[in-house]
Structure 1
Amino acid sequence: MEHITSTPTVKAPAERFTGDVYLNQIEAPADPARLAAALVRFTPGARTHWHSHAKGQTLYITDGVGLVGTRDGTVVRASAGQTVKCPAGEEHWHGATDTTLMAHVAMLVGDENGDGTTWLEPVTGEQYAKALAAVAG
């Protein structure tokens, strides 16, 4: 058994996120399980860049309200206690709404090269505004 009493909070890198995002790593992918998990906190308007995961990703919302969007324009609005699963290879992004922070536990299974994430370009302001409009009401 290993008891980890705390992990440092770090600011997420600007080359993968837009806005202020903070991470606490819970687990890094290592054999045999290769689980990667992190608590990720997004300030209003903050979001990931487009990305995909070799083996998919599960997001468990712990606080606030967030959005998860896919390339085909599908947008899910998720709040605390809800889970969103992104299948392997699906290009997507996630983040807070424009008025509410959002925190989630991001979980994935890594591969032999690390966490299996492919990072892509930023979500544009226009794409983000369109996602907000799609879930308004």
Structure 2
Amino acid sequence: MNTWMVWATLAGAVVILELFSGTFYLLMISFGLLAGAVAAFLSAGTSVQLVTAAIVGTVATLALHNSQYGWKGNKDAARDPNVNMDIGQTLTVSQWQEQGGGRYTSRTMYRGAMWDVELQHVSGYPGEYVIQEIQGSRLIVRPV
């Protein structure tokens, strides 16, 4: 078996592993292994094959990591509408109680239950508000 075939077989095995993991990072490593196969096919030495595979795999992995499809930092679940369906929904508040320091609280009906509602850094007037964040059983809102 030729050396380039060994590289290509390893690349295929890594692609199969990638199918089980569900990430694209192993696919980027397989690109590096294919680059090693190309270097072997062009009759490069073993050290050139290894360096080529390492450089291409590393560059491809870093490029994926920095792209829009790469790893993303943890989001605050209290503010993430993908985690909590209530973020971005509107509700009506009939009256506010000032708590001092620019903080206003209220109780209002939302989805068939009474909720504690908090408004920060804005004077509270009755009307429509949008849910910005959920902290426990409190809805943090902003004016529409």
- TM-score (ref. length: structure 2): 0.23
- Higher normalized contact order (CA 8 Å, seq sep 6+, divided by chain length): 1
- TM-score (ref. length: structure 1): 0.24
In terms of fraction of residues, the more strand-rich structure is 1
In terms of fraction of residues, the more helix-rich structure is 2
